[in-house]
Structure 1
Amino acid sequence: MPANRITFYSNPQSRAAVIHWMLEEVGEPYETIYLNFQGAMKTPEYLAINPMGKVPTIVHDGQVVTEGAAICAFLADQYPQANLAPAPDSPLRGTYYRWLFFAAGPLEEAITMKSLNMDIPSDKSAMLGFGTLERTVDVLEKAVSDSPWICGEQFTAADVYVGSAIRFYVQFGVLEARPAFNAYVDRLTQRPAYQRSLEILQKAAAAQQK
């Protein structure tokens, strides 16, 4: 079996940063292939791997996985020794899935519509998966306020994904920088794996600019 079971397609200035962090948390060897947005991501060779022509994508032992939340969940299950997900029979397993996909679904939808300045009539909010932005943000705040991590004392892949979303949205001013969000991000960014991923991305971005 080859040393690197994981091939990771990325761009250092994209949401693939989430998976850089996740891979560093997993701690297994991986090969990174950096692609530019309008060139390599749109070639027939890459589109055969990910027809969306986007990153992140991983190929694990020949199996293609796309979409950030799915990649995080997949890697956590493939490498249980990293302890990045509650055990299948744990009462926290549902909590883990709930918030991992809350960030990928209602939260992203709500923030995207806000970013596009799309006003939602109050009588139409029930048609949307997130209902209202205000409710979505309040619910998210509570999820990261009750304990150090999404699943209590256990850091998981849900924290990688949810925390990345909060950090990104606050940084770009589309999510209110509430104290609970700031404290959660501060805890996350102190993790050695996060710091390693940040260094990797900074070096890759500098190399790409050259």
Structure 2
Amino acid sequence: MPHIQLYELGPTRSARCRWTLLEAGLAYESIGNAPAIIGSEELKRVHPLGKLPAVIIDGRPLFESAAICAAIADLVPERELIPPPGSWSRSLHEQWVLFALTEMEAWVWTAELNTLEYVFPKEKHVPAIVPQCRKLYRKSAAVLDAFFAEHHYLIEDRFTVADIIVGYTVNFGQEFNWGEGYPHLLAWLERLYSREHCTLERHQTS
């Protein structure tokens, strides 16, 4: 069994990695799980920016949640959490993950940075940017809503790590209720909530 050390904290993007580990049935050591770990010298030895999540697998460091989830899933191919490297389905995995991170998560993250005070103080916020972020996020959410009108899951119509990664992004958007009016997208999110190992925190607006 691989030796896995996960630097994590509750509802941060490390929730993706924790969920993947649970689905994979892999034991791991949780490190940090407190705000003090962020930016610490210990964490910077794994992630140069001192951000979460980060992982050490058999002594090898890795950061960025999508990369970590894929690496974990590849450790247990028998679980079929991710398509095999080189397959067309693996390309579709990359497609949807990158779509979510670049066309959706970037906008909701920017909105949060300019709304909440846990990163930047209020005087540093640019609230005028939030409506534009919402518009761009929802344009991409509409793409997923149309997709889920005909599919239950992102890859091969079965649950995979792509659903974990993209699901976190969509759930993130629900902090602002940006999925409102997209019933197929929200129905997919409900399917994710119902899974035994789901680590998503349901927002009251969803």
Report the AA paired with residue 176 of structure 1.
G
Whole-angstrom distance in 2 between the partners of 1:89 and 1:48: 31
Q: Give how far 1:118 is off.
A: 1.4
Whole-angstrom distance in 2 between the partners of 1:57 and 1:113: 21
Task: Give the number of the structure with larger relative contact order, counting CA–CA contacts within 8 Å between residues 6 or more apart.
Answer: 1
Aligned with residue 176 of structure 2, among 155, 173, 176: 173
Report the AA paired with residue 15 of structure 2.
A
Partner of 1:205: none
Whole-angstrom distance in 1 between the partners of 2:183 and 2:154: 16
User: Structure 2 matches for 1:25-174, cutoff 5 A?
Assistant: 25-37=23-35, 39-115=36-112, 116=114, 117-118=128-129, 132-170=136-174, 172-174=175-177
Whole-angstrom distance in 2 between the partners of 1:89 and 1:46: 32
Whole-angstrom distance in 2 between the partners of 1:93 and 1:175: 28
TM-score (norm. length: structure 2): 0.78
Count how many residue pairs are aligned between Structure 1 and Structure 2.
Answer: 185
Whole-angstrom distance in 2 between the partners of 1:112 and 1:80: 32
Q: Deviations over 1:94-140 (max 9, x none)?
A: 2111001111222112323445441799xxxxxxxxx9444322212
Q: Give how far 1:31 is off.
A: 0.9
TM-score (norm. length: structure 1): 0.77
Distance of aligned partners of 1:43 and 1:110 in 2 relative to their CA distance in 1, 3 Å threshold: closer
Q: Secondary structure at the match of 2:56?
A: strand
Aligned with residue 185 of structure 1, among 189, 197, 203: 189
Report the AA paired with residue 187 of structure 1.
R
Residues 69, 101 of structure 1: 8 Å contact kept: no
Residues 111, 174 of structure 1: 8 Å contact kept: no
List gaps (5 residues or longer) in structure 2: 115-127, 202-206
Whole-angstrom distance in 1 between the partners of 2:172 and 2:130: 22
Q: Give how far 1:164 is off.
A: 1.6
Partner of 2:14: 16
Q: Secondary structure at the match of 2:88?
A: coil
Whole-angstrom distance in 2 between the partners of 1:112 and 1:188: 21
Stretch moving more, 176-185 or 137-146 = 137-146
Report the AA paired with residue 163 of structure 2.
D
Distance of aligned partners of 1:156 and 1:140 in 2 relative to their CA distance in 1, 3 Å threshold: same
Identical positions, percent: 28
Q: Give how far 1:42 is off.
A: 2.7
Residues 95, 151 of structure 1: 8 Å contact kept: yes
Q: Secondary structure at the match of 2:150?
A: coil
Q: Secondary structure at the match of 2:102?
A: helix
